[in-house]
Structure 1
Amino acid sequence: MSEATRDDETPSAGTARGQYSLKSGDTFVVCDAFGDIRGGADGLFHNDTRMLSEFRLDLGGKPPSLLSAAISHDNVLFTSNLSNKPLPPMGERATPQGVIHLERVRFLWGARLYERISCVNYGDSEVRVTLTLRFAADFRDIFEVRGTPRARRGTLHAPQVDADAVALRYDGLDGVTRCSVVCFSAPPDRLAGDAAELALVLPRLSRTELYLEVGPERVQPSRERFRAAAAEARRAMRKRRGHGARPRSNARLFNNWLERSRADIALLVSDFPTGPYPCAGIPWFATPFGRDGIITAMQLLWLDAGLARGVLGYLAEHQARETSSFRDSAPGKIMHETRKSEMAELGEVPFGRYYGGVDTTPLYIMLAGAYAERTGDEVFIDRLWPSLTAAMGWIERTCDQDPHGFLTYAQGEKGGLLNQGWKDSEDSVFHADGTIPPAPIALVEVQGYVFAALRAMSRLAERRGDEDAAEHWRHRALAMRKAVEELFWDEELSTYGIARDGRDTLCRVRASNVGHLLYVGLPKLWRAKKVIRQLRTAPFDSGWGVRTLAMQQARYNPMSYHDGSVWPHDVAFCAAGMAHYGEREDAVRLLGETFEAAVHFGMRLPELFCGFPRATGEPPIAYPVACLPQAWAAGSVFMMLQACLGIEVDGRRGEVRIDRPRLPDGLDRLTVHKLDVGGDTIDLGFERIGARTVAFRAGGSMDVRILAKV
């Protein structure tokens, strides 16, 4: 995630035993392959508070053996298949290893965890065994879990134990009482405040089931409740996955990647009154973030404009209206992050509603402009217009404070973010010798976003008939392009520097930020070609995608968060930027590299992974505390696929423009099913014929124009 600086003490989520995540609304769970919650970063969380910090299962006093673990294709069910280790005798003889099959099936729905534990005895005689479930709730704020210390906490009450339920309760300093009630479908033989024991008698081939629920109040778990809630959860997920067009190819593995990515985005989407919004990632960022929501919506815009509409509506509603150095807010600024946790509510951290992202506001305007082009939805843009002009007002006021007209940032107060671009770790912006530059900082890609936002506002104003405003913003866009070309280009490096600092000195560092500059189309063609040539080279291209920082640069570390790692969404920006300048084969190559990385990660791309050079026979190396799943990592395939196919959808004109499409390697055919174009729907086909890829109407409305250039 780019949203908060990582701490060396940030715990890892299930690294040794695997990490498995589920989410529903404001509730998510992270466990290991056994289905166990063991502390660290594991837990059942609701509204950024850990409601279960331990949930471990033993069989006969021993942890079971793992057979397999998986998340269902629709991201609703987690299943762990386990077996017994050799058990001591509870009668005439001991139970040998591998005769008891233990299955844990779990899902979330309605702020509750549902679980079914099934035991089947495949031995040659009756088995007696004790099943033990250990549980605890520390009710720690997610910032505490990540390592932020607190001077004091609220009151953790002693567990309240009944025959078939245990209530765990915490009174927060914010005046909110938080409860986790662990409920059993049958009374355990022994139930204490931290453990339940069930003495099972398992005849051969018999099946015994236990149903558990964990939620804010006591209920009576049952098979019927489990089945009914699971059906509701799956229906809701199907509805979310059903939005937008669906690409499908002739390659099974590639289709698996597409479907897993769609499922991950659907998992992370929360429904608000303003519409759907993709939360950023699990475990650390399972909440709305401005930048992440915008970029994910951009990645999906050509397929699903509804997500962009939901993101724009939510961010307009949460736009800053006051100035606060603690929250880094100012009127017109777009939200960076929102939290509901105890520490956020008390102001112990500024992230209850935090605005410390310098790029979120121009990205918001970029998305609005792209949404208008994609859909022709002038009514929604009219409703959004006061928010857009307020956002542009903040940008212009801030740019006017810089002698060159750049959009800069500086940390508001301690506790907020030191760096406020997408690379927001404390060491991600530096000079060629590795020294940290003084604020205020002007990031190169942020100026590109401002350039694109000004152009978007100019086009929107022109359509509204406001020629004066359109000309004003058009003039500022040209001035921004001129300033970036003059003050960020470094002829010796043959690329753009990463930033200018508070002393008006260029940070002469080769970094992937320039890929974002290509994406918005700011560089002159001959300079863009030089940048693209660098991004192709081994110092940048790891073989699994473009590194955030080129090798041999100061602070380069392939295991770092932002200084040499590979971020799939960043690779997607680079690929789309290369395609913007006609280098579509580069987009194909980067999509291929990212796909091969996805195969090694089980078709679920993490937030980032290490930037070590690709070695024959070796997989990409995981970054230990990466979010998984993560929205803009899942969305990267769709941005890169659009770059390869050269698709632009114009809903206002009712046409699809296709510029020199290329199919990724290994694909001969691809169809985009049910693509909405200005209210009409078409199926768009692509097929490789010799060295060319041709596009054609595969079905749907004949009213949509297809303008294709081979």
Structure 2
Amino acid sequence: MAIEINVGPPRLAINQGYGVLITDQDGQIPWPTDKGFYHSDTRVISSWQIFADGESWKLLNSGNVAYYANRIFLTNPILHTEIGVVPEHTLGLSISRSIGGGIHEDLDLVNHGMDKVQFNLEIAVRSDFADIFEVKSGSIVRRGRITSAWSQGAPRLTIAYVNKDFKRRVTVTAHKWDSKPVYANGRISFELELKPGEAWHSCLLYAVGDGETIDHAPDHCIAQTGGAGAHRKLSQWRDATLKIETSNEEFYRFYHQSLEDMAALRLPIEGTDHLEFVPAAGVPWFLALFGRDSLTVSLQNAMVHSSFARGALEVLSRHQATRRDDYRDAEPGKIMHELRRGELAHFKLIPHTPYYGTADATILYLIVLHNAWRCTGDPDLLARFLPVAEKCLSWIDEYGDRDGDGFQEYQTRSKAGAYNQGWKDSGQALVNTDGSIVTAPIALVEIQGYVYDAWLRMAQVYDALGKSARAQTLREKAEALFVRFNDTFWDEESGFYAFCLDGEKKQVLSVASNPGQCLWSGIVPPDRAAKVVKRLMEPDMWSGWGIRTLSTDNPSYNPNSYQNGAVWPHDNGIIAMGFRRYGFANEAACIARDISGAAGYFVQHQMPELYSGMQRDPTDFPVQYLGANVPQAWAAGSCFAMLQMIVGFQPDAPAGKLYIDPVLPEWLPKLTIRDLRVGENVFDLRFWRDDDATRFETLKGDPLAVVQKSYATATTRWL
């Protein structure tokens, strides 16, 4: 039997909505650290420790029981008390927590010894109310005043922060206690006296307020209800989404953990239920609304939950820019990048109110709108969001193409703006062949493909709306871009596309993963696709755990860097879909196996945002990037992208059709999918390998609505 290796950071993390709790494995938050209880981009608990007469407890074990709840089991060291010595391991202390707005914390203690014990259980709580940006950077500035007050009647500890009109507070209320606490020396203290075999319980409820509203803690103890409301919502989410059965346990577990991760990252939309939502980007640093991430995840989830995109389309439309604002990199029609709710954003010390420094979200909005329409067949989607799309199309022409050369370029105008504004958005992500930073303005290769794809998709939308002249104009623009792009970005000598064009419109010929996304967009001529696929599968790019972001031959390559050599699962998912689009099913399946295999090594099969680009060999395993977000929405969604690729998913709900082109790889010889929704139709489909061919049958739904159609349609997909 093979040894099971679990890779992941030594921490506990639970989250729901805009709240996330990150602790050590013993449930404590040491000081100083970047852990804590964060709510709406503010750390409201910065230190939490528990003692028995001043002595620290010992960890037995801990773990999450759901994305919103965990349990920690502790025992005592030797305690010297006024009535005698308490031998070590005599007491059992369990801490159970659930998050849902605030935090419900259950403290349960049992005396397993033969003698009575008497001691003080003490909980030390501190709050620094630091902005999440400053915690992450390690440079925290205190701008306001922190006060604390204890109400013995409740009993309740209130810690408040005020900086002018920015207010935050957290209250810690003892509830259902078996002995009433007191507060002294910064600690909530319970005086305990337990006979042999006797148990003790208390709840602590952590509520968070901003001066106007209060997010209360869940009402129920975890041991009694399992998290009641959150558990019910998770069950409803599972019922509403695609189910799979497969002979590959590894992929099965990856898929189901990805479903749970997607549920964990749901941000509520005011006025809707929990099945209409927008996903946060990731935990802990990106529990906020992001344009690019939400749209990418919507595309990934098209097969899993056909209405998934509604939330992103709705919320992002509310924040579409109406005027130019250089500090926020905003321009009329532009879709936002990132919205924050902490102190720095409140006082506009950062431009995230929201910030618009993204070169691709506006284009992706059009792609998602078309895809959502194809999945749902809902004409109201087009009626509701076509005005938004029109503004996006105008932005592409007027602002995306900064110099009128027909390509999309970006360069920040903000003193606090992002230098790089594609998905590789770190300041060091775009490098020349000598390792130096590419000069702006920058025309990224994959963004040209996005525009090509968006124009063709919107042409199809306009045809459906009876606006054939508008559709023809967009097709002509797409055709012109196709020619111009392939003349300008292709390097015949290397047989590969330039990473980007720099500020002088020179090709940057660093070998990176970005051109792989052009296969997904369809902007690559079929006769060049084989060269792109072959180049990406060379050893300097393919690690065995997926395709790296940057070639090992580049001087800036570092397998443990953020975007200069690491492997990003979502990037690989898009590339794999592109491989299949051009008929390279075996290579696409290889990438899918890499990513699925890597997931099997991470704790709970929970895919991190990225992991090391080190070369795979028989003795190693994937190494998680320090600081990677887990869970992370488009990392989890990479599983769903791979599933779309394997099935050859091509929805056409407006026509009442589901087109598929399944190619099951050897490692996935059987697959059944259930509750696949395409418009009004719901299908169950079974797939199996028959020698080298893949067969399928319709188990539920109209079999005449399911049609096999080649997924390898290359540049004619939307023409």
Shared fold per TM-score greater than 0.5: yes
Q: Is the 8 A contact 2:335 2:356 kept in 1?
A: yes
- DSSP 3-state at the match of 2:62: strand
Moved over 6 A (4+): 217-226
1:708 is displaced (CA, Å) by: 6.0
Q: Match for residue 9 of structure 1?
A: none
Which residue of the partner structure matches residue 420 of structure 1?
421
CA shift, 1:405, in A, is 0.6
1:147 maps to a residue whose letter is: S
Equivalent AA in structure 1 for residue 248 of structure 2 = A
Contact between 1:155 and 1:171, CA under 8 Å: does it hold in 2?
A: yes
Deviates further, 488-497 or 267-276? 267-276
SS at match of 1:200: strand
* Structure 1 residue 52 corresponds to structure 2 residue 45: yes
SS at match of 1:93: strand
CA distance in 2, matches of 1:279, 1:92: 52
Which AA in structure 2 matches 1:618? D
How far does residue 624 in structure 1 lie from its aligned partner after superposition?
1.1
Instruction: Give the residue type in structure 2 aligned to 1:49.
Output: T
- CA distance in structure 2 between the partners assigned to 1:517 and 1:587 by the alignment: 15
Aligned partner of 1:255 in structure 2 is: 252
Q: Secondary structure at the match of 2:687?
A: strand
Corresponding residue number in structure 2 for 1:629: 631
- Cα deviation, residue 19, structure 1: 2.5
1:194 corresponds to which letter in structure 2?
G
Determine the C-alpha separation between the residues in 1 that align with 2:200 and 2:579: 58
Pairing 1:197-212 to 2, within 5 Å after superposition: 197-212=189-204
TM-score (normalised: structure 1)? 0.93
**CA shift for structure 1 position 662:** 1.3
Q: Which runs of 5+ in 1 are unaligned?
A: 1-14
Shift of 1:94: 3.9
Unaligned runs of 5+ in 2: 1-6, 712-719
CA distance in 2, matches of 1:148, 1:412: 26
Asked if 1:648 is matched to 2:641, the reply is: no
Deviations 1:8-55 (A, max 9, x none): xxxxxxx99722222222222222211112352211122111111111
* Structure 1 pair 152–56 and aligned structure 2 pair: CA distance change class (3 A): closer
Shift of 1:707: 2.4
The answer (yes or no) to whether the contact 1:510–1:549 under 8 Å persists in 2 is yes
Please name the residue that 1:612 is paired with: 614
Q: Give the fraction of aligned pairs with identical amino acids, expressed as a percent.
A: 31
Q: Aligned runs of 1:226-625 on 2, under 5 Å?
A: 230-272=227-269, 273=271, 275-602=276-603, 603-625=605-627
Structure-2 residue corresponding to 1:38: 30
Deviation at 1:59, TM superposition (A): 3.5
What is the CA-CA distance between 1:464 and the residue it aligns to?
1.3
Q: Does 1:133 align with 2:123?
A: yes
Deviations 1:49-76 (CA, angstroms, capped at 9, x unpaired) = 111111122345333222222212x423
Q: Give the Cα–Cα distance (whole angstroms) in 2 for the partners of residues 344 and 220 of structure 1.
A: 26
Q: Which residue of 2 aligns with 1:5?
A: none
Q: 2:160 maps to what in 1? A: 169
**Is 1:192 the counterpart of 2:184 in the alignment?**
yes
Residues 572 and 636, structure 1, Cα contact 8 Å, conserved in 2: yes
Q: 2:307 aligns to what SS in structure 1?
A: helix
Shift of 1:580: 1.0
State the distance in 2 between where 1:556 and 1:421 align.
19
Please name the residue that 1:213 is paired with.
205
Moved more, 317-326 or 57-66: 57-66
Q: Which residue of 1 aligns with 2:74?
A: 82
User: Is the contact between residue 159 and residue 193 of structure 1 (CA under 8 Å) also seen in structure 2?
Assistant: no
Residue pair 2:442, 2:500 contacting (<8 A) in 1 also: yes
Query: Alignment partner of 1:180: what SS?
Result: strand
Q: Deviations over 1:182-208 (max 9, x none)?
A: 111336554126212223333333322
Deviations 1:260-306 (A, max 9, x none): 11011011012214731001111111011000000111001122121
Q: What amino acid sits opposite 1:107 in the alignment? A: S
Query: Which residue identity lines up with residue 117 of structure 1 in the other structure?
Result: L
| Matched residue type, 1:121 | N
CA deviation after TM superposition for structure 1 residue 581, in Å: 1.0
**Structure 2 counterpart of 1:106, one-letter code:** R
CA RMSD of aligned residues (A): 2.4
Question: Equivalent residue of 1:482, what SS?
Answer: helix
Q: Distance in 2 between matches of 1:675 and 1:221?
A: 33
Paired position in structure 2 for 1:7:
none
Task: Name the CA distance, whole Å, in 1 between partners of 2:420 and 2:521.
Answer: 22
Matches within 5 A, 1:148-167: 153-160=143-150, 162=152, 164-167=155-158
Equivalent residues of 1:280, 1:293 under 8 A apart:
yes
Alignment CA distance shift 1:89-1:95 (3 Å) = farther
8 A contact 2:104–2:219 mirrored in 1: no
**Closer/same/farther in 2, CA of residues 140 and 615 from structure 1, 3 Å limit:** same
Query: What one-letter code is carried by the residue in structure 1 that aligns with 2:519?
Result: L
The match for 2:55 is: 62
Deviation at 1:447, TM superposition (A): 0.6
SS at match of 1:38: coil
Distance in 2 (alpha carbons) for counterparts of 1:709 and 1:169: 61
Q: Structure 1 stretch 161-170 or stretch 669-678: which is displaced more?
A: 161-170
1:638 to 618, 637, 640: 640
Q: CA deviation at 1:362?
A: 0.6
User: Which amino acid counterpart does residue 341 of structure 2 have in structure 1?
Assistant: K
**SS of 1:351's equivalent?**
coil
The question of whether the paired residues in 2 share the 8 Å contact of 1:184 and 1:221 is answered with no
By how many angstroms is 1:686 displaced? Answer: 1.0
Q: Taking structure 1 as reference, are residues 345 and 507 closer, same or farther at Cα in structure 2, changes over 3 Å only?
A: same
Which residue does 2:689 correspond to in 1? 688
CA displacement at 1:252 relative to structure 2: 3.4
CA distance in 2, matches of 1:234, 1:221: 12
Aligned 8 A contact 1:511 1:549 in 2: yes
The corresponding residue for 1:11 is none
Q: CA deviation at 1:577?
A: 1.1
Distance in 1 (CA, whole Å) between partners of 2:562 and 2:347 is 29
The C-alpha deviation readout for 1:113-142, integer Å capped at 9, x for no partner, is 101111223334333343221111111111
Picking from 80, 83, 95, the partner of 1:104 is 95
Q: Does the 8 Å CA contact 1:169/1:178 hold for their aligned counterparts?
A: yes
Letter in 2 for 1:115: E
Residue 28 of structure 1 corresponds to 20
Distance 1:37 1:400 in 2: 48
Shift of 1:506: 0.9
Worse overlay, 379-388 or 183-192: 183-192
588-597 vs 421-430, greater mean Cα deviation = 588-597
Give the drift of 1:548. Answer: 0.5
Q: Which amino acid aligns with 1:53?
A: S
Whether contact under 8 Å (2:359, 2:400) holds in the other structure is no
AA partner of residue 93 (structure 2): L
Structure 1 residue 415 displacement after superposition: 1.2
Counterpart in 1 of 2:172? 182
Aligned to 1:93: 85
Are the equivalent residues in 2 in contact too, given 1:457–1:470 (CA < 8 A)? yes
The residue identity in structure 2 corresponding to 1:197 is: S
Relative distance call for 1:487 and 1:141 in structure 2 (3 A) is same
Distance in 1 separating the partners of 2:58 and 2:294: 40
**Corresponding residue for residue 717 of structure 2:** none
Give CA deviations for 1:534-561 in whole Å, capped at 9, x if unaligned: 2212211112111111101131111111
**CA distance in 2: counterparts of 1:26 and 1:208, whole angstroms:** 32
Mean CA deviation greater in 252-261 or 315-324: 252-261
The answer to which of 74-83 and 617-626 deviates more is 74-83
- Return closer, same or farther for 1:664/1:368 CA change in 2, 3 Å cut-off: farther
What is the Cα deviation at residue 655 of structure 1?
Answer: 2.0
- Change in Cα spacing, 1:223 to 1:424, as seen in structure 2 (3 Å) is closer
